[in-house]
Each structure stands twice: as structure tokens, then as C-alpha cells.
Amino acid sequence: MRRVGAVVRKPYWERSDSGYLVRRWPDLTAACFGICFFWLSLTPSLVPRPWLLQGVVGGITAAIGYGIGSVVATVCRALLRWRPGEKTRARLWQAYWILGLVLTGWLISESDHSQRRLRELQGLPPATAWHAAAIILIAVLLWALFLLAARGIRLGSRTLIRALHRFVPLPVAVGLGLALSALIVTVGLRDVVFQRGVIDLADRIAYETNGGTKEGIHRPTSPLVSGGPGSLLRWQDLGFQGRNFAGSTPTGQQITRHTGRPAKDPVRVYVSASAPEAFSSRNPFEAKARLAVRELERTGAFDRDVLAIAGTTGTGWVNADISEPLEYMHDGNTAIVAVQYSYLPSWVSFLVDKERAAQATRHLVDAVLAKWSALPADDRPRLVVTGESLGGFAVESSFDGVDDLLARTDGALIVGTPNFAPMSREIREHRDDGSPVWRPLYEEGRNVRFAQFPERDLKRPSPDAAWNHPRVVYLQNASDPVVWWSSDLLLHRPQWLRNPLGPDVTPAIRWFPVVTFWQTSVDMAVSYGVQAPHGHRYGTAPVDGWAAIVPREGWTPQDTEKLRRHMEERKSPY
């Protein structure tokens, strides 16, 4: 036992009072860390947050800070003999409460102002009141729940150590007890709570959704679309996103009404994750790719002007804002093919299906390129690739770098790729000197260009600078948390937070270890709550992208503006 002033305290593994779980005072050092982390959570990040989410973020961030503070306090107690007396401790607590309440109120008020400024910067209307009392209440409740859970784990560890001490020496009991406790908690959180709880629940919900169809979507009557007459794929086997993609294909008549020119019915091919052929093969990705090529051959896709390979997100989604502009631009004389590798939401696919996305798309790209390359060079469609978010990562992973992409295709439109996407990461790391990471200039823009505001960004470095074909256009918003999220944020200040900042990133943003990582993680969940071109929304920017990559003969800037207005006015079936 150790003597602290006039108080004798047992080592924590020898304390048997279960009431210690809810002792009167938290640890002061940990409490200071907790409230400081809560204050840091009030600082602005990439996209605006509603007050309810701010309360949740504040509570979890405070719990993280409290945990770090507990570790610091434990180390200090082990190294230092000095302990404050009861009177000093009481005064410290009084100062904590007084300063804590005053500073918390002031910082929440400042947070309100910064959130309003951020909303203005990103073109959003003023938010409702920033409910300070509700934010504090939610944060305190969440912090208390995490604290009770942590103390419950500590109480269980202490009980386990005492039980082991009956059979082995104390040092061995402590080591074994802590190791077993860590193992139980890790396995419990990973396998029980996360895998069998969160992931299985998401899987069940996604599976049920995959069997449905969005309202207003019907089986196509065109034989040029998967699931239609003569298709090698049954309508019921296309999955939720596959049916949405196939069932919303614009007709030649619809395209003609917009362009005033004769138009064809576009070709759309989609192979879902539940295609029967995938279950009868040792390599389901290869089987689906072969099926996709057969379906392309059936529909005459290789006789079209443009053939696009589209990477899909976790659910199998292909953004209509990317597919339709290409079809309207070329009067329907196009073919688009996509393969679904999963029906799980993208955030789940990021955790468990990331490699499947890369494998499935690479097999599709290789199979289509093999057929396309065998055709006479003057009698085959222009071949392009495209993908958004996880679909962009899948497309990038299908090539061995920028040179391989340029050598094997006629261009690419890649939208909002995650930070771990190999090609865009390589480009940002090797960008030209002086260009910011959020708008990198690569090899003077000869083949690859990045844009958030395409009308001006695609003219960089200058309107007269050489821009050769094939062209690769990256649509990348400076405020897109999906692009910037990385585990490096835990301990390293990112380049996108260095001056000059992006045009829609608030100057009030700061980097803090651990906190910025957590804030950016939360930002990904609300990145669709803003208007394009901010957050993870890109709106009609693909119109300008396709106009730069594969424009129809005679295409003009006026045509681009007209199509952009049409895309803004139409209601997306997605």
C-alpha cells in the first residue's frame, strides 16, 4: 500500500469496493484533458455541422481526451511522489468548474459564429439557433456513458487480477489480467459489437434494400439495356442500384427533345453482385467481367461512338450526374458498363470490401480492354473510364499508374476519390512546385487536370497551355472530407491545412492531434449536407469534365452551358 498525505490508498487491483465505479470525483487531470478536447471539438472543420451532431462530436471527443488524460495522470502518479492536499485539490476543482463553465459558454458562442461563417462560405442558408445548453447536455451524457463503461472495464480487470493472484505471483497476475482484459475488450468490440452488431445489421438492411426498386423505376423496354428484352441478365437479378441504373436510362426521344438532333437509345450494361453466373465460378469477378463483355457484344456497344467503363460505389451506385451528360452529349450514341461488387453502404465497403472493389473493377477493365483492343483502331469506340468516390478508387486501382491509364484509354473522369486511391495520391505527391495539394498541377497540365470550378480550373496553368489527348479530369473539392480523410491526421498536420487554403475552407480551421482526425471522420458522414461544389457533392461539374475529355464533334461552350442547365433542372432518379 502507498501513503498519500494522511490517506492510505491501495493499489487499484486490490480495491474491492464496486462503488468505486461511480466515485464522487473524476480524476482532475483527466477532466482537464476531457474539457480541453471538448473545446477543440467546437472548432470548425471542412463542412458545417448541426447542433445535434456537435453535441455528439463533443461528447465523444471529451471522452477521448479524458482517456488520454487518465493515462497521463497514471504515469505522473507513478513517477512523482508529490500529491496535492485536500484543500489544494478542492481549490483546483473550484477553478476547474468556474473557468470551465465560463470558457465553455464563450467557446460555444464563438463556435456558433464560425459555423455561420462556414455556411456562408459554402453557399448555405443560415442555420437554426446553436443550442448551447443542448450541446453541453448531450456531450456530458455521452461522456458519462463512456466513463462508466471504462470504469466498468477497469473494475472487471481488477477483479480478474485478484482472482489470478490466488494462483500466481502478483506481477504475473497483473500482466495476465491486463492482457486478458485487453483481449476480451478488443474481441468484444471487434467481433461482437462491430462485426456481429454494426456490420451484420448494415448487411441485413442493405440486403433487404437490394431486393427492392426505387419508386418510379420500371423494367426497361429497350433491348439495349440490361434487364430489358433479350438481355443476358434478368431484371430481378440486377439488384437495387442495378435496376435504378438500367430503369432510368434516357431514351433517344428524351435526348432529342433537349438537343433538337436525332438521337439513339443509349446502351447500359450492368452486372450485379447477385448475378447467377458469379456463384458458379471459382473466380466470380472474372465471371462477371466475361458476362459484361457478352452483354456489350449483344447490345452492339462496340459499334458506338463512346464506350465508358464505370466504377461503382459500395452499393453499386453509378451517379446519374456522371452517366447522363455523356449520353446527352453524344446523342445517345454511347455505351456504359458497370459491375457491382457489393450491396453494402460505401462506409462498410471501405472497411470490409475495399479490395473487392479493386479486383472486380480491374477484371472488368481488363476484359473490356481485351475485346476493344482486338478491334481495328479506326473502327472502334473511344474508350473512357469513370468513377466517383469508392468507384474512383476502383478505377484507379485497375491501372498501373497515370502512364498506363493514358496508354490504354482515351480519357478518364474521376470524381471525389478517397485519400488512399493510388493514382491521385501519386499525382498529389509529385505535383508541380507551387501548386496546392487541393488543386495540384501535374506535369504542367499536359494530360491531367484537377478542378472544383471547372470553367476556370480546367484552364490552369493558362488558357493557352498545351492540353493533350487523352485527357484525365479529376473533380476534387477542397472541402471534401472523403478526399482528405487519412489516419495520418491523428498525429500529422496535413498539407491541405497549410496556406493557401482551399477557396471553401474557412481560415478559422486548425489542426489538432487526434481531434482533427475525429472531426474529419464525422465530416464524411455529413459531406452530402452541403451544396455543390462543396463537401462530397459535385453537381453538374461532370458536364464540363466530359466536354473536355470526349466532346462530340462540333461541341461548343454554349452546348456545355445548355446541358449544364438541363442537368440542374432535371430531377435525378437517384
Q: Are residues 159 and 29 in the same domain?
A: yes
Q: How many CB atoms lie within 10 A of CB 334?
A: 25
Report the chain's mean pLDDT, rounded to a whole number.
86
Asked if the model's pLDDT at residue 514 lies above 60, the reply is: yes
Number of domains in the chain: 3
Q: Are residues 109 and 202 in the same domain?
A: no
Asked if the model's pLDDT at residue 282 lies above 80, the reply is: no
Mean pLDDT on 9-30: 57
| Pairwise pLDDT comparison (420 vs 277), residue with the higher score | 420
Mean pLDDT on 458-478: 94
Q: Which residues constitute the domain of residue 107?
A: 14-164
Q: Are residues 130 and 248 in the same domain?
A: no
Q: Are residues 216 and 203 in the same domain?
A: no
Segment among 42-56, 183-197, 538-552 with least mean pLDDT? 183-197
- 8 Å CB contact between 34 and 62: yes
- 8 Å CB contact between 465 and 487: no
Q: Are residues 102 and 190 in the same domain?
A: no
Segment among 287-301, 311-325, 380-394 with least mean pLDDT? 311-325
Q: Are residues 198 and 122 in the same domain?
A: no
Q: What is the pLDDT of residue 573?
A: 40
| Measured CA angle at 424 (ends 419, 430), to 5 deg | 110
Mean pLDDT on 110-123: 88
DSSP letter at 308 equals: E
Q: What is the pLDDT of residue 458?
A: 96
The secondary structure of 60-123 as a DSSP string is HHHHHHHHHHHHHHHHHHHH------HHHHHHHHHHHHHHHHHHHHHHHHHHHHHHHHHHHHTT
Residue 488 included in any domain:
no
- The region, left, alpha or beta by phi > 0 then psi within -120 to 50, assigned to residue 468 is beta
Residue 531 included in any domain:
no
Whole-angstrom Cα distance, residue 50 to residue 127?
8
Mean pLDDT on 157-165: 83
Whole-angstrom Cα distance, residue 458 to residue 437?
16
Q: What is the pLDDT of residue 565?
A: 94
- The closest alpha carbon to 291, from 272, 310, 271, belongs to 271
Q: Are residues 109 and 226 in the same domain?
A: no
Asked if the model's pLDDT at residue 438 lies above 70, the reply is: yes
Mean pLDDT on 447-452: 97
DSSP letter at 124 equals: P
Q: Are residues 341 and 371 in the same domain?
A: yes
Q: Are residues 178 and 310 in the same domain?
A: no
Q: Are residues 322 and 394 in the same domain?
A: yes
Q: In the structure, what pLDDT confidence band is assigned to residue 176 with cuts at 50, 70 and 90? A: confident
Q: How many CB atoms lie within 10 A of CB 291?
A: 22
Q: What is the pLDDT of residue 1?
A: 44
Segment among 9-23, 228-242, 347-361, 475-489 with least mean pLDDT? 9-23
- 8 Å CB contact between 245 and 338: yes
Rank 14-28, 62-76, 465-479 by mean pLDDT and report only the highest: 465-479
**How does pLDDT run across 255-266, given as a tens digit for each residue?**
999 999 999 999
- Model's pTM, two decimal places? 0.85
Q: Are residues 361 and 469 in the same domain?
A: yes
**How does pLDDT run across 534-555, given as a tens digit for each residue?**
999 999 999 999 999 999 999 9
- The closest alpha carbon to 442, from 453, 427, 454, 455, belongs to 427
Residue 135 included in any domain:
yes
Whole-angstrom Cα distance, residue 448 to residue 457?
12
Residue 513 included in any domain:
no
Whole-angstrom Cα distance, residue 246 to residue 270?
7
| Pairwise pLDDT comparison (411 vs 151), residue with the higher score | 411
Residue 185 included in any domain:
yes
Q: Are residues 289 and 428 in the same domain?
A: yes
Identify the H or E element spanning 167: none
